[in-house]
Amino acid sequence: MKAPVYSKTGRKVGEIELPIHFKETIRPDVIKRVVVAIQSHRLQPYGVNEMAGKRKVIWLSKRRRDYKTTYGRGQSRTPRKTLARRGRYFLWVGAFAPQTRGGREAHPPKVERKLEKRVNEKERKLAIRSAIAATAVRELVQKRHRYNGDVPIVLKDEVEKLKKAKEVEKLLKKLGMEKELERIKERKIRAGKGKMRGRKYKKRVGPLFVVSKRCDLMKSARNLGDVVLVKDLNAEVLAPGTQPGRLTLWTESAIKELEKGLFL
């Protein structure tokens, strides 16, 4: 399986043989499992106050002749607090129990709960290879993007030296990604209470640049998409939102790094 190689001017200058990763069977179920496991490690433990719903005086006697008793009244044994009394007549309201207003929760969340999910090492590598293969399937890429060019896209290593975002944007336009640039500019106001919690806008995920080493492109392209080292690839980067088929641009050196046995 070969892919065309483009220069920083957008011209096709040759071809490169793709490694075995691009021939892997695409497994959306494995990709989703691994992505969810990665996301679970960012969850913050949470729980309720230990005294929530328990700050009421709810002592009642269950004996026959005690002063403050529910015995013989035909009432359930639900814990109650006293609102008013007149002699031996009490005005009670349910409290403390889970089914009562203001009472405790039956099974509240606890900070001891283990939120992190774990996956096997072979499963993790399979998900990465599967997500890499999905970046070379035209139907999957077109389903998520408006780009209709060749997939996967391999660039000469000179692209890693681009220092300005305008140069990167110019390269993408020459590769025929004008609609993709328009798509990533879209943003919508989120529905629900997330608007009040620092997540007001929902933005589109841009293209992914995969490089072999730290370079100028990591800074110049960060507003147009994500830039990641090939050794740091994971299922979430290649399939954001658990959906495989992200538009991905590789450098020649990154492809050669894959050939050395990464994720096998």
For residue 72, the model assigns a pLDDT of 82
For residue 162, the model assigns a pLDDT of 94
For residue 120, the model assigns a pLDDT of 97
What is the rounded distance in angstroms from the CA atom of residue 113 to the CA atom of residue 188? Answer: 34
For residue 251, the model assigns a pLDDT of 96
Q: Is the dihedral of CA 89, 92, 96, 100 positive or negative?
A: positive
Is the link from the previous residue into 109 a cis peptide, with omega within 30 of 0? Answer: no
Phi-psi label, residue 263: left if phi above 0, alpha if psi -120 to 50, beta otherwise: left
What is the tens place of the pLDDT at every residue in 149-174? 888 899 999 999 999 999 999 999 99
What tens-digit pLDDT sequence spans the chain (264 residues)? 889 999 999 899 999 999 999 999 999 999 999 999 999 999 999 999 999 999 988 888 888 888 888 888 888 888 999 999 898 888 899 999 999 999 999 999 999 999 999 999 999 999 999 999 999 998 899 888 888 888 889 999 999 999 999 999 999 999 999 999 999 999 999 999 999 999 999 999 999 999 999 999 999 999 999 999 999 999 999 999 999 999 999 999 999 999 999 999
For residue 101, the model assigns a pLDDT of 92
Q: Which of 145, 210, 150 is nearest to 10 (CA)?
A: 150
Question: Model-level pTM?
Answer: 0.85
For residue 63, the model assigns a pLDDT of 85
Give the phi and the psi of residue 212 in degrees, each rounded to 5. -95, -20
CATH 3.40.1370.10 in the chain, residues?
2-32+115-258
What is the rounded distance in angstroms from the CA atom of residue 205 to the CA atom of residue 183? Answer: 9
Instruction: Mention the CATH class of domain 2-32+115-258.
Output: alpha beta
Burial of 41 (0-12, 13-18, 19+ CB in 10 A): exposed
